[in-house]
Structure 1
């Protein structure tokens, strides 16, 4: 058996050879998959780093919040360093809404009702904004994860079709003439899966992390509503809420 001949035949096949003999449709599909991969990895990296930074800032602010002597001290900290996490963003808007309603009253339709009603609407608006911001880009990951395998499969079907047509025109239907081109066409399916799997894993991981922080934010919103709108003393409410309790319920509509 001539091993050198076999090695030369194997080296003549492969990804580079597949790209070289692909037509415009095959190369376009490969470029689409490459673009999907770049976009999905960019979103995963950016959203992942933002998630880590958001969690660190949130823990730092919550520690400061529960150890503050009053809401004025919290407001001073936010005025100095800014609202850089969802929790400080929520308390900042809630205190601003309460102060605005106390000063101007119900001057507009969106301010109708009591100060507690206005603060409640403001809190729910901030929660919606934070949810929208956290979910931004996740639709792209879901789309890539669900469509990339089918794009790769279409590329495989297209490659197999042209390989079989070329083999039929050449009149050589032996196994060594069929297996190589058909095997190369399967590369597109592998590429599609390689693009889809990280996108699906990134989507699931980011979705779960967002769900956890939104759950904590929703529980914190109830405490903020108690402090700001109902005027509960900081010491009494803070001591009861320093640790998550089973009695905490979501913010009422």
Structure 2
């Protein structure tokens, strides 16, 4: 499979579809059906079932219960099954029976967020190619979703990181997106990432550029990650905050942190190679 991106998925690492609870549901269904068939046979012992009406009724109820669980198992099939590959994620749409491949190198946005009231734990991730592409959610209704979320973050850093760094070295800007605190908190209310309205800004050799405002790279001394508050701040040499955002309000936050620190170190140690050539 070599999609239009020209990047092949590579070796299959893992497949993430139904959860263990789905397997338990299917196994229970099979056991009930088996018990429903075996009960009258064992009770009758080769004789007539008419002499054992209670066993017949119990068998019928067991079969109905098994069939009901089988229907529930089918109804709970996830809308998407995600296959983790070396170079990206293949999305299988179970309703339309179509597949799509999103390479790590083309994942412009990763959106970590929380759903429900889970003690502050980040339990959801969504990814997309760009602002015009649909989000693909990685929720806990997929098997081993926690490990898959970690692998996607690692894959984006591994594959997209060098590409964006080369773009910065060539004087180009890299687009990032943020959401408001209101939208960030709305994730707990069950709204999906598809409802998110994001604002774009640029990381460039000049610094961090917003609409009508630029924080020069020369003014940025460090990146601070608030361990308890979740804040992410750009600080000057005196420790003053030049810009701040919540970690979960910044798409691809880990990629932004790595690139920002690389630019700062390049300037501090005179490594060079990053020039301004605004072509966007």
Do they superpose with TM above 0.5? no
Answer 1 or 2: which has greater helix percent.
1
Q: What's the TM-score bracket when you normalise by the shorter of the two chains? A: under 0.3
Larger strand share, 1 or 2 = 2
Taking CA–CA contacts closer than 8 Å with sequence separation of 6 or more, which of the two structures ends up with the larger relative contact order? 1
Which structure has the larger Rg over C-alpha atoms? 1
